Chain A
Amino acid sequence: MKVSITVNGTRQEKDVEPRTLLVHFLRDRLQLTGTNIGCDTSSCGACTIHLDGEAVKSCTMLAAQADGGKVTTIEGLSKDGVMHPMQQAFMENHGLQCGYCTPGMVMASIGLLKENPNPTEEEVRLGLEGNLCRCTGYHNIVKSVLAAAKK
């Protein structure tokens, strides 16, 4: 089947199998490999992207479900070589180590601040309940998001 998805501002029309997950569409068809796959049960959030401005797990959607939608991936965040304030906050606060959960974590964090621009620490922790990280113990991720909120 044909799908047409605007990804990071560029319209992408592709023929896909119906079973193609959105994350496979991004990674395998568009070579946007920044979006990672960490589980098979929608638990880890590594594949989080924005669909029409909202954080969603791209492993739990068919590409067909995103047909006609606007997708932003981690590759689409920086503008003119300058990182998004959330990316900068993660860098400044050592909010990442191995970096595998990071794209999903950043996308989820941006989504979080969009819905709650001035969260408490507890709200940040709860807001990121759907994203797992094995390296940082979350301490500096939470710090990064709080710092980004102040920017």
Chain B
Amino acid sequence: MTMTENRQNTVIGTRQLRREDPALLTGEAKFTNDLNLPGALHLSILRSPHAHAKIVSIDTAAAKASPGVIAVYTGAELQSQWAGPMPCAWPVTPDMKNPPHFPLAASKVCYVGDGVVAVLATSESASRDALDLIDVEYKVLKAVVDVEEALSDANIIHEDLGTNKSYTWNLKIEATEGCVENAFQKAAFKVSERYVQQRLLPMAMEPRAVAAVPQPFGGDITLYSSTQIPHILKVMAALTLGIPEHQVRVVAPSVGGGFGSKLDVYAEELLCMALARMHNLPVRWVEERSENSMATIHGRGQVQYVELAADKSGKLTAVRVRIKADMGAYLQLVTPGVPILGAFLYAGVYDIPLAYDFSCDGIFTTLTPTDAYRGAGRPEATYAIECAMDALARQMKIDPLELRKRNFIQKEQFPYTAFSGLTYDSGDHLQAAEKAAGLADYVGIRTKQAKQNVAGAKKRLGIGMTSYFEMCGLAPSRVLASLDYGAGGWEAATVRILPTCKVQVVTGTSPHGQGHETSWAMIASEKLGIPQEDIDVLHSDTAISPLGLDTYGSRSLAVGGVAVAGACDKVIDKARLIAAHQLECSADDLEFAGGVFSVKGSPDRAVPMAAIAFAAFTAHNLPDGLEPNLEAQYSYDPPNFSWPFGTHMCVLEVDTETGKIEILKYVAVDDCGVQINPLIVDGQVHGGVIQGLAQALFEEAVYDSDGNLKTTTLAEYLVPAASDVPSITTAHTVTPSPTNQLGVKGIGEAGTIGAASTVINAIIDALSGLGVTEMPMPASPQTVWRAIQSAAQAK
């Protein structure tokens, strides 16, 4: 029986305050840069001021003589430290081109921020001061900034590759050959749209920090890093540095947000480890914010061409997508795979025939590498289909909600096998859309809009929507194999009942704000019938939790949380054998509830978990052949992705004189299946929505034509503050996932996935009466004003 069928849940589904909070609220929590490491050397990195240049010469003499400086290294001088280049774990095609990428550039720099010289000194100020004394002579080459221009190969970045194209990845699904083209030729309505997913800076509030601490004897080394992926990092660091894996321990202390930007193997982690081993001293590095803008991965960076074909009722008959994806200068851990994660979602939540044609070019530019950023490929895909659906509705002159209703996959169709062959586990899009429409007063807004948006109106009202599906909970290992991903998608958990019936839950997930300690304890408490306060959750240290695949892609609950439940089941199974032995009955005759085993029909014949835990510990009287102790390790490999879904709506006013947007209401109806802790679910939605809304209205990594990043600080890169964003109305529908025992789906990325297209659709809706049909992101006041001006001129 799954827990979703068992309606006796007493812990799951309740709003539990987070056990993580007191340490974070009082300053006791330790982030990586808070660690006290006496004698540690500080690393500072001189970075390239050019987007594309040959290194002619480097003079480090003055830096070496600077007070407090211990050593100065160029890329060439460290080259012997690397057993191999930095890893890309996702070779999306067999012929994908991947230039070798080392922690410091040796002969050529390929983006502003590329590391050139490493300085080690006794203090942070000494290593920083020395950077100003290094003289590097560059031969500047032409920057390659525009992803579509790069494809012309007029100016090749990695000469040895002979091209700026890394790969072309295709997904063409046709019921009969040529049916996509046929559908477009026969279509009653067609839309053909071009969207630009601007580059974004992830801007986790904690800049990255690293400390590598060698053990005095034996060659072991501990890496502390503000990472989302201690387990993956351990393997990759061992391979890249040529250190036996068992000698590497990775610890992620408190981590101040990631959003994908800490889902990587970074130069600074490898540099700190190499230098710590060379000098046999701890080496630490902390990123400055303006360094973070250039040296931490960027998100998005795609040009999308989307075509929809529809019959006269508006039913979609084919989808064609061409993507030009900006890889940046190098392939980081999963750079090439990010657009592929969206490849399956360009039909959104709609029931389409087998007529889908997707192709993506991964292209190098002389800009900071891109990689996974909250949603990774899926917000881009959702944006494209949802904005294109609005374009189709405008062309058909029908209500965009009505158009969606005509195309939704119906509730009865689940589990639904999509054109791609993937199975959508469960859903009810109509219910989510109607709930959102009710909360946003869709009908009332339309009435009000008709009155307000008359000729000459200074403030125009708009409402926009997005219905989304998120492919998350990465992921079934076999599916990942078919996508050529370099790892599996399982997650591990250990549940250990201590002699006094206290519990340790060890998880392979690596939380950095998501509250896993609280939620995993809730799951274990529910399963074991042991109070939450008696349960500890251990994580983020490969010495304590040696197995795991970490936290990204809304996978932690849907994979890691289910693994915790599975490990609890195994412990209960073992405890059942001990209980049966003590009660002298068959294990099959026992029922387990509230932490007590009792004989079915004879509730007075019972033994509590506490007695079993102690018996397992003393091992005085266990069934023959049963191992002492009460502990189980379980690795869960999900049979499917999880498919959260929902509808977001946004009501806003555009000041047509200035172009400024005022959001009047934002409604998010999300369905993530069974909610473990609704408090945390809402928090994830709030944060995700604002991040998506920030892409729509505020944020962009702006480059000039020479490849210089113009938005390097938080004064220029506009992460919005409380004063700049609205409150959010959250609501939920609950459609349990049938594929896991908890009935759960992911929720970490949903808000981000739904928000950008919702806001942009609302702006276009407000202005469509003025002839505005396009709205680039971010829709800054100037951008909106210009769109109004050019629509007026076109009239």
A-side residues, CB < 8 A to B, are: 17, 19, 27, 31-44, 46, 73-75, 77-78, 83, 87, 90-92, 94, 96-103, 106, 121, 124-126, 128-142
In the assembled complex, B725 has its CB within 8 A of some CB on chain A: yes
**Residue pair B715, A98 in contact (C-beta under 8 Å):** no
Say yes or no for B25: interface residue by CB 8 A criterion: yes
- B721 near A138 (CB under 8 angstroms)? yes
Asked whether B28 lies within 8 Å of A34 as measured between CB atoms, the reply is yes
Contact B205 A96 (CB under 8 A): no
Of A38, A42, A131, the residue contacting B722 (CB under 8 A) is A131
B21/A90 in contact, CB under 8 A: yes
> How distant is the Cα of A94 from the Cα of B724 in the complex, in angstroms?
20
Contact B206 A36 (CB under 8 A): yes
Query: In the complex, what residues of B have CB within 8 A of residue A134's CB?
Result: 203-205, 257, 259, 687, 691, 719
Q: Which of B25, B34, B682 contacts A106 (CB 8 A)?
A: B25
- Please measure, in the bound complex, the distance between the C-alpha atom of A13 and the C-alpha atom of B18, giving whole angstroms: 38
Indicate which residue in B513, B714, B722 contacts A128 across the interface (CB closer than 8 Å): B722
A44 adjacent to B728 (CB under 8 Å): no
* A92 adjacent to B17 (CB under 8 Å): yes
Q: Once the chains bind, are A36 and B256 in contact (CB under 8 Å)?
A: yes
Write the nearest CB–CB distance from B160 to chain A, whole angstroms. Answer: 37
Given known A94-B680, A96-B21, A137-B691, contact A83–B26 (CB-CB < 8 A): yes
Contact residues of B between 715 and 744, Cβ < 8 Å to A: 715, 719, 721-725, 727-728
Contact partner, B26, options A38, A46, A74, A139, Cβ 8 Å? A74
* Chain B residues, CB < 8 A from A42: 715
Best-buried of B288, B683, B728 by chain A (most CB within 10 Å): B683
Known: A98-B204, A139-B728, A140-B683. 18 other contacts (CB 8 A): A31-B36, A41-B714, A73-B27, A74-B26, A77-B26, A87-B25, A94-B18, A98-B24, A100-B205, A102-B24, A103-B25, A103-B27, A124-B722, A131-B722, A134-B259, A134-B691, A135-B205, A141-B722
Provide the bound-state CA to CA distance between A90 and B683, in Å.
Answer: 12
B residues whose Cβ falls under 8 Å from a Cβ of A: 17-18, 20-31, 33-34, 36, 125, 203-207, 254-257, 259, 288-290, 512-515, 679-680, 682-683, 686-691, 713-715, 719, 721-725, 727-728, 751
Contact for A137 among B23, B256, B687, CB less than 8 A: B687
What chain B residues lie within 8 Å of A126 (beta carbons)?
A: 722-723
11 A-B contacts (beta carbon < 8 Å): A19-B125, A31-B36, A38-B207, A43-B715, A44-B289, A74-B25, A74-B27, A98-B205, A101-B256, A128-B721, A137-B728
Residues in A neighbouring B204, C-beta threshold 8 A: 98, 100, 134
A38 touches B289 (CB 8 A): yes
A101 / chain B contacts, CB cutoff of 8 Å: 205, 256
Is the pair A102, B18 in contact by a Cβ cutoff of 8 Å?
no
Contacts of B721 in A (CB 8 A): 128-132, 138
B714 x A132 contact (CB < 8 A): yes
Given A40-B713, A135-B257, A139-B727, also A99-B722 (CB < 8 A): no
Q: Could you say which of B17, B24, B725 contacts A138, with CB atoms under 8 Å apart?
A: B725
| Whole-angstrom distance between the Cβ of A107 and the nearest chain B Cβ | 10
Contact across chains for A125 and B289 when beta carbons are under 8 A apart: no
User: Does B723 contact A125, Cβ atoms closer than 8 Å?
Assistant: yes
Output the nearest chain B residue to A90 by Cβ-Cβ distance. Answer: B25
Residues of B within 8 A of A94 (CB): 17-18, 679-680, 682-683
Measured in the bound complex, the distance between the Cα atoms of B683 and A56 in whole Å is 28
* A75-B691 contact in complex given A41-B714, A43-B715, A98-B512, C-beta closer than 8 Å: no
Q: B719's closest neighbor in chain A, by CB? A: A132
Q: How far is the CA of A38 from the CA of B292 in the complex (A)?
A: 10
A132 to B714, CA, bound (A): 9
Given contacts A19-B125, A128-B722, A129-B723, contact A34 B36 (CB under 8 A): no
Contacts A90-B25, A135-B257; is A142 near B722 (CB within 8 Å)?
A: yes
Q: Which residues of B contact A46 (CB under 8 A)?
A: 205
Contacts of B714 in A (CB 8 A): 38-39, 41, 43-44, 132
Q: Which residues of B contact A33 (CB under 8 A)?
A: 27, 30-31, 33-34
> B719 and A96: CB pair below 8 A?
no
Beta-carbon contact of B125 and A100 below 8 Å: no
Instruction: List chain A residues, Cβ under 8 A from B207.
Output: 37-38
Among the listed B259, B683, B719, which residue makes an inter-chain contact with A136, where contact means beta carbons less than 8 Å apart? B683
Q: Is the CB of B686 within 8 A of A137?
A: yes
Closest to A136 in B: B687
Q: Are A41 and B289 in contact, with the CB atoms below 8 A?
A: yes
B682 CB to nearest chain A CB (Å)? 7
The CA of A31 and the CA of B723, in the complex, are separated in Å by: 33
A42 to B722, CA, bound (A): 16
Contact B27 A100 (CB under 8 A): no
| Contact for A139 among B27, B34, B686, CB less than 8 A | B686
Residues of B within 8 A of A43 (CB): 713-715
Known: A96-B21, A99-B254. A39 touches B289 (CB 8 A): yes
Given the known interface contacts A75-B26, A90-B25, A97-B514, the answer about A44 and B722 at a Cβ–Cβ threshold of 8 Å is no
With A and B bound together, what is the CA distance between A91 and B23 in angstroms? 11
Choose among A100, A124, A138, A140 the residue that contacts B206 (Cβ–Cβ < 8 A): A100
With A40-B289, A83-B22 known to touch, is A32 a contact of B722 (CB < 8 Å)?
Answer: no
A76 to chain B, nearest CB (A): 9
Bound Cα distance A67, B713 (Å): 29
Shortest CB-to-CB span from B286 to chain A, Å, is 8
Q: How far is the CA of A94 from the CA of B30 in the complex (A)?
A: 20
Report chain A residues within 8 Å CB of B715.
41-43
The answer to whether A100 touches B257 (Cβ under 8 A) is yes
The 6 closest A-B pairs by CB, nearest first: A34-B27, A99-B24, A100-B256, A98-B513, A137-B690, A33-B34
* Nearest-Cβ distance from residue A1 to partner chain B, whole angstroms: 15
**Judging by beta carbons under 8 Å apart, are B25 and A132 in contact?**
no
**A83 lies within 8 A of B25 (CB):** yes
CB distance from A49 to the nearest CB of B (A): 11
B288 lies within 8 A of A40 (CB): yes
B256 touches A91 (CB 8 A): no
Q: How far is the CA of A134 from the CA of B689 in the complex (A)?
A: 11
